[in-house]
Structure 1
């Protein structure tokens, strides 16, 4: 029983890594870079400007929804949908994993400072019939569980902003994505060098960029391959990232929709939720 209770949250955490670190992504089958040897070796000023405009547009969004699919290190193939809001802070993610160490469907909800992990019957089997496990996002005593939920508190604009800081960002060409005509840009980012770069005119503050860089470093990512597809009006419709993490290739695709539309997320019923913080307090009293 104790072993199984650790397994389900760990699986959800791995899924979250794929979702938040690939805040907007599309990937190749093996996670290796595409051959773009025909492109110029130096960034063109108009290319960098176009990417920065798309980043600025994304930074101004308060809410967004997206679909994701791809591969996550150690967990096989993942797919799912997500909606999030920055103010008030809320997120609703629904993921499925297959072909990896663990398989199944999992859900994550963030409501203010609380996070909830759900996994249907598999979770109920180890939570006395309840389907949700509640954590305080900043609860240090939650250990790895709290860390998983903080991963869900993502910042896609900060992730996309890294492309503008690439030393070789290029315009790849015109492409159609889901019926929308877009311009495709791409570049490679040296994660270790990012903290050393001088601040630019990004609409994002340094704290947000630092946070997302640290997430990549914790995964063991050294080189990040990023692609962005921008529609008229500087609207990002697709974003791609690939990297080799410590546990294998990271390879996920995300497509955006419903920008700045209301996102409402409700906490699961208390009667169907096991509160970790409460359980920890009770354990200290025993």
Structure 2
């Protein structure tokens, strides 16, 4: 097994981690929207006012179970399920099952179609399986992806990724709608048998991500260039909220150079206990070490 294959697999792991159910570019912000809103008692709230309530309620819930599906053009499609906690940074566990795309094919080369993730405050870990451990990992199954290291290796996109992974919570989709400027209340619908209110809006992906990561002008120009290269400009954001003002579903859609991007995630069991253990150091190698491996591993 050559090192190019392993590096590509390692990158696929990082992309998949960024696309789990809570991963969404997010920032606080505001905007004007349709004044037809959700009723709270006898008072009709505007979409903006309703979303601010939803943002606060979801943020204070601290944890939830997450499951969903992501399609990233021709590169990747995957299903994911797990639980996340966000009272003090993002922690949690998630299992991603790769179901198609070129990056899934790369993972198949190392005999891995299902990836177990562990998220901690300063980075995340991915279990690469026995074949990786035997042939390239020096007997180690886990790869460590330290956020600071990833940021150093990836320029402006890395800074944005670091901020996203350390600060994203389910209510980031709500914040995206607040910042979109054109949020509207679509109406009442049913999500998995329960009544929910549907809101929708459109966001400039690069601008929103850059503002969230507090990038300077030079970094912002680089980020826009990187977004342009993958063809992602705007994203449509839809959320569904239950009677307790908690997010129960989100859907994000956008166009990419190699196809459509879409992600749908469902949130349930808010307040669920979440326990995460750091993999043992004896069974872990760093992503940086993987990328620096010699031509033949």
TM-score (norm 2): 0.71
Task: Report the 3-state secondary structure (helix = DSSP H, G, I; strand = E; otherwise coil) of the residue aligned with 1:117.
Answer: strand
Partner residue of 2:242 out of 231, 240, 247: 231
Alignment of 1:1-286 (within 5 A): 1-19=2-20, 23=24, 43-44=34-35, 46-89=46-89, 90-103=91-104, 104-124=113-133, 125-139=135-149, 143=153, 147=158, 150=162, 152-156=165-169, 157-191=171-205, 210-211=212-213, 219-220=227-228, 221-275=232-286
User: Where in structure 2 are there 5+ consecutive unaligned residues?
Assistant: 26-32, 37-45, 105-112
RMSD after superposition: 3.5
How far off its partner does 1:272 sit? Answer: 2.0
| Rounded Cα–Cα distance in structure 2 between residues aligned with 1:53 and 1:84 | 21
Matched-pair contact (CA < 8 Å) for 1:219–1:245: no
Measured in 2, the distance between the counterparts of 1:278 and 1:126 equals: 11
Q: Tell me, what secondary structure is at the counterpart of 2:148?
A: coil
What residue ranges of structure 1 are gaps of 5+ in the alignment?
A: 25-41, 196-206
Inter-CA distance 73–107: structure 2 relative to 1 (3 Å threshold):
farther
Aligned residues: 252
Change (3 A) 1:275 1:186: closer
Provide, for residues 204-255 of structure 1, a one-character-per-residue CA deviation record: whole Å limited to 9, x for no partner.
xxx9x613998x9554432110111111121110011111235432111100
Q: Against the structure 1 CA distance between its residues 243 and 280, is the aligned structure 2 distance closer, same or farther, given a 3 Å change threshold?
A: closer
Describe the shift of the 1:19–1:234 C-alpha distance in structure 2 as closer, same or farther (beyond 3 A).
same
8 Å Cα contact 1:22-1:241 kept in structure 2 = no
Tell me whether 8-17 or 248-257 shows the greater mean CA deviation. Answer: 8-17
- Tell me the secondary structure at the aligned position of residue 115 of structure 2: strand
Residue 192 of structure 1: how far off its partner (Å): 5.9
Give the Å deviation of 1:114: 4.0
Q: Retained in 1: the 8 A contact 2:145–2:287?
A: yes
Contact residue 15 and residue 72 of structure 1 kept, 8 A: no
Deviation at 1:184, TM superposition (A): 1.0
Residues 92 and 136 (structure 1 numbering): CA distance in 2 closer, same or farther, change over 3 Å? same
Tell me the secondary structure at the aligned position of residue 134 of structure 1. Answer: strand
Offset from partner CA, 1:73-113 (integer Å, 9 cap, x none): 34332101132223444232211112211321122222332
When normalised by structure 1's length, the TM-score is: 0.73
